[in-house]
Amino acid sequence: MLEGLGELTNLQTINQFVLEKNKGCELKELGGLIKLKGILSIQGLKFCTSIDGETKGKFLQLTSGLQELKLDWWKQGAHNELTSFELDDVIYESVLDCLQPHSNLQKISIHNYGGLKLQHLPRFDQFPSLKHLELDYLPNVEYIIDVNNDDYVSSSTFFPSLEELRISKMPKLVRWCKGTTPIIFPYPFELTINDSSPLHVLKSFHAPNLKALRIGLSDDELDVVPWKDYENLTSLHLVFVSNLEYLPECWQHYMKPLQHLSLDSCENLKSLPEWIGNLTSLTELYIRNCEKLTSLPHGIGNLNSLTRLGIDSCRNLASLPEGIRHIPNLKCLDIVECPILEKSCKEDTGEDWPKIAHIPDLRIYYTHY
């Protein structure tokens, strides 16, 4: 970025504000851009190596027109540089202290932040219009809000607009807040937690209206997830959950509202339980890249609401259960890259063909070698 950008005080749009080492504009130039609107992505924050008393300020506090703010300590295309450019924790926090965004923000994304704390930003729940919060690669942060939540009362105003929360690559995360009292998220939203972020953090907040949950790249046991709290969950996606061998038994009691279930690249998944037929609200079921899965349960025939079934890259799945012909609303069946199953489902000659011939939208993509 060119020096002097801060003098363009009527500037309303600048999608990217990129800092570079020993050249270009400085962070303080944001202080003059109070008319910015829409989206602002600040990249290369690792090049802010010092914030002295003269330059220190609240550079975004008056920028009420911004709707989305992305803070990235790397810059696009330079993700391999972080390990060779580590900053003092004080510098990380000083930079945050200068970036006090206006409460009108609807989306906040923080990427590649190496500091220990996020306390120099306003508490995320104090943004009444915040719809999307994304925290990606904050490897040292233990608490998202670094206060004792025993003195931090949840209320009906806690994240009133939140629609999506994404937590990724936060291996040291302990809880949402310090203390023992769970934080309550009273409104419906979608949650993604993946890439080595520990699942036990889910116990630190109560989300009775959580509507969608995605868990990915996790070595944790699913037993640590408080499934009984998710009584209104309608969508669940598990991808690269390496310790998953069998679905948790408690699902048959707590997952009754579930409508969409996706099991993707769960390499140790051995079977699906007969009780899966108890998930009678399920409309879509996708199973992909589960190499150890050799069969599906007969109980699948009790999924009266199921309209779509997708099976992809389950190379050892040998046959379909008799129950599949009894699913009354099954409209679409996709079978992709399942060489043994493809043979058994071959039109007219396959052993399983009579079970599926009635399905209106039947798509079998045959493996070619």
Q: Which pLDDT value is given to residue 15?
A: 86
The CA-based diameter of the chain, rounded to the nearest angstrom, is 81
Q: Are strands 260-264 and 132-136 parallel, antiparallel or unpaired?
A: unpaired
Structure tokens at 4: 């002097």
Tell me how far apart the alpha carbons of residues 148 and 169 are, in angstroms, rounded to a whole number. Answer: 23
Tell me which residue has tokens 């890439």: 195
Structure tokens at 124: 């995320």
3-state secondary structure of 322: helix
Q: Which string of DSSP letters, residue by residue, matches 90-112?
A: HHHHHHHHH----TT-SEEEEES
Structure tokens at 211: 């509507």
Tell me how far apart the alpha carbons of residues 149 and 145 are, in angstroms, rounded to a whole number. Answer: 9
Q: Which string of DSSP letters, residue by residue, matches 257-319?
A: T--EEEEES-TT-----GGGGG-TT--EEEEES-TT-----GGGGG-TT--EEEEES-TT---
pLDDT tens per residue, range 31-47: 888 999 999 999 999 88
Sequence-ordered list of residues with C-beta below 8 angstroms from that of 26, at least 6 positions apart, any chain: 3, 19, 48, 55
Q: Which pLDDT value is given to residue 84?
A: 38
Q: Which pLDDT value is given to residue 220?
A: 95
Structure tokens at 45: 């924050």
In DSSP terms, which residues pair with 178 in a beta bridge? 148
In degrees rounded to 5, what are phi and psi of residue 255? -105, 20
Structure tokens at 9: 């005080």
Q: Which pLDDT value is given to residue 330?
A: 98
Tell me how far apart the alpha carbons of residues 99 and 255 are, in angstroms, rounded to a whole number. Answer: 41
pLDDT tens per residue, range 124-174: 878 899 999 999 999 999 998 877 765 555 555 578 899 999 999 999 999
Instruction: Count CB neighbours of 48 within 10 A.
Output: 21
Domains, the chain, with CATH or none: 234-369 (3.80.10.10)
Query: Quick check: 223 and 246 in contact, CB under 8 A?
Result: no
Q: Which pLDDT value is given to residue 53?
A: 44
Tell me how far apart the alpha carbons of residues 96 and 176 are, in angstroms, rounded to a whole number. Answer: 19
Q: Which pLDDT value is given to residue 156?
A: 53
Q: Which pLDDT value is given to residue 178?
A: 83
Element holding 339 (H helix, E strand): helix 339-344
Outline where DSSP puts E strands in 55-142.
Answer: 66-72, 107-111, 132-136
Rg, Å, the chain Cα set: 25
Sequence-ordered list of residues with C-beta below 8 angstroms from that of 349, at least 6 positions apart, any chain: none
pTM to 2 decimals?
0.91
Q: Which string of DSSP letters, residue by residue, matches 4-20?
A: TGGG-TT----SEEE-B
**pLDDT averaged over 10-residue windows placed end to end, the chain, 369 residues:** 74 90 78 92 84 61 93 71 54 84 94 87 84 96 78 63 96 88 88 96 92 97 95 97 96 96 97 96 98 96 98 96 96 96 94 97 81
